[in-house]
Amino acid sequence: MTAYLDHAATTPMRPAAIEALTAELARTGNASSLHAAGRAARRTVEEAREQLAAALGARPSEVVLTGGGTEADNLAVKGMFWGRRAQDPSRRRIVVTAIEHHAVLDPAFWMAGHAGAEIVLLPVDSAGRVDLDALAAELETSGDQVAFISVMWANNEVGTVSPIADVVSLARRHHVPVHADAVQAIGQLPVDFAASGLDALTVSGHKVGGPHGTGALLARRELALTPVLHGGGQERGVRSGTLDTPGARSFAVAVDAAVREQPELAARLTALRDDLVARVRAAVPGALLRGPEPRAAGAPAAAANRLPANAHFTFPGCEGDSLLYLLDSAGVQCSTGSACQAGVPQPSHVLLAMGVDEGDARGALRFSLGRTSTAADVDALLAVLPGVVDRARSAGLSTLTARSAR
């Protein structure tokens, strides 16, 4: 049996999304064409847009379809910065948390190197919670220079849920727009774009059972947003390119299902995650849960401070890559952190920002659950994890001894 515990990286496609995708793949039509086939494709795209909007608490005109979460984040970071600078050249500061996904951090730093932006990294506490006092201080002293703020709704590595309402409230006092990467939140937490007060929000398809290469940026119509891609002027003129009709329909089907199933799934995954956490702690001495402690039993869902599907540990004396490969060979699939950084031999920037020692940060594993996860997956993990940790620690000690002898 293979236990798949890496749903935060990608999750299996939903049968309904596969059916929608394959049905549209058999049809011909460019949604920008004016003939019958084009109009049919356009109708499919607009129905998908309406379905996405209804599921996420947005207006259809606020849904800008993209080729995934990374593109949506880049459009938000670059588009909002340039849009704000065009209105007010003094708005040069980009405020982001130190634990943002690289799809936000990297374009932000690119803008600093190529477009005159100034980056402000908001600190987080040991659980990954953004320092609201630091944000308030930044806005009080430099609010008239801030182009926008970006705070991810829920962290992809340690699962920390951000206080989005508090961030928006602080930003509103200084007329600063706010973007949130909600890629991990959709389907695990209640997400309502209109109610959130956000100006822009990123969504991705393959995290909720949709196809890879699909996503959207929800952006208020009045938000100044400069295009990153130029061409035919599709998607309100801010995201040119031939519309992916099959992808849009499949993406919408997946998001709609994920949102409808969210309350029941969150409750089931919370119980499964809590069992996993308790058993890892009991079976592996020294294993440290990173991120917030799971909410107390019986607490309301609104009190959740970490994603229900996330369990992130560090194992002192171990290398995360060694743990990952040993588990993989035993039939358990997980990750050391963000899949987008896989293969990069460096500790997680998220853990370092949380104050975790670099050596300990190298021994990280993320176990993430999804709608296909069962108790058998947790059983499979615990059947092999203690032995894997012992082997990895022994290998680490051997390496350390060899280095000391040189």
d(CA 183, CA 205) in angstroms, rounded, equals 8
Q: According to the CATH classification, is domain 15-256 in 3.40.640.10?
A: yes
Average pLDDT of span 67-89:
97
- % residues pLDDT > 70 (the chain): 93
- pLDDT for res 1: 77
pLDDT tens digit sequence for 165-214: 999 999 999 999 999 999 999 999 999 999 999 999 999 999 999 999 99
d(CA 73, CA 138) in angstroms, rounded, equals 23
Average pLDDT of span 60-69:
98
Rounded alpha-carbon distances, angstroms, from residue 283 to 9, 381, 384: 26, 11, 10
Average pLDDT of span 223-250:
96
**DSSP result, 314-332:** E-TT--HHHHHHHHHHTTE
pLDDT tens digit sequence for 254-272: 999 999 999 999 999 999 9
pLDDT beyond 80 at 112: yes
- The pair of structure tokens assigned to 119 is 């980056």
Average pLDDT of span 350-354:
97
Cite the active site residues. 340
pLDDT beyond 90 at 303: no
Give the angle 332-161-105 at the CA atoms, nearest 5°.
85
Rounded alpha-carbon distances, angstroms, from residue 75 to 113, 116, 202: 17, 17, 10
- pLDDT for res 337: 74
d(CA 250, CA 209) in angstroms, rounded, equals 9
Backbone angles phi, psi at 256, to 5 degrees: -60, -45
The mean pLDDT value of the chain amounts to 94
Outline which parts of the chain fall under CATH 3.40.640.10.
Answer: 15-256
The three-class DSSP label of residue 201 is strand
pTM: 0.94
pLDDT tens digit sequence for 203-217: 999 999 999 999 999
Identify which of 37, 342, 17, 46 has the alpha carbon closest to the alpha carbon of residue 205. Answer: 17
- pLDDT for res 357: 95
Task: Find out whether 381 and 5 touch, Cβ atoms under 8 Å.
Answer: yes
Outline which parts of the chain fall under CATH 3.90.1150.10.
Answer: 3-9+262-405
- % residues pLDDT > 90 (the chain): 91
Report which secondary-structure segment, H or E, holds 70. Answer: helix 69-87
DSSP character at residue 94: E
Partner residues linked to 218 by β-bridges: 63, 201
- Enumerate residues 6+ apart whose C-beta is below 8 A from 121: 96, 97, 98
Burial grade of 114 (CB within 10 A; 0-12, 13-18, 19 or more): exposed
Interstrand relation of 178-181 and 63-66 (parallel, antiparallel or unpaired): unpaired
d(CA 130, CA 139) in angstroms, rounded, equals 14
- pLDDT for res 10: 98
- pLDDT for res 394: 87
Give Cα 22 to chain centroid, integer Å: 27
pLDDT beyond 50 at 302: no
pLDDT tens digit sequence for 100-109: 999 999 999 9
Task: Find out whether 365 and 312 touch, Cβ atoms under 8 Å.
Answer: yes
- pLDDT for res 399: 52
Q: Which of 51-55, 199-203, 252-256, 292-296 has the lowest mean pLDDT?
A: 292-296
Task: Find out whether 201 and 193 touch, Cβ atoms under 8 Å.
Answer: yes
Identify which of 211, 216, 139, 204 has the alpha carbon closest to the alpha carbon of residue 178. Answer: 139
Where residue 403 falls among pLDDT bands split at 50, 70, 90? very low
Specify the fold of 3-9+262-405: Aspartate Aminotransferase, domain 1 (3.90.1150)
- pLDDT for res 395: 76
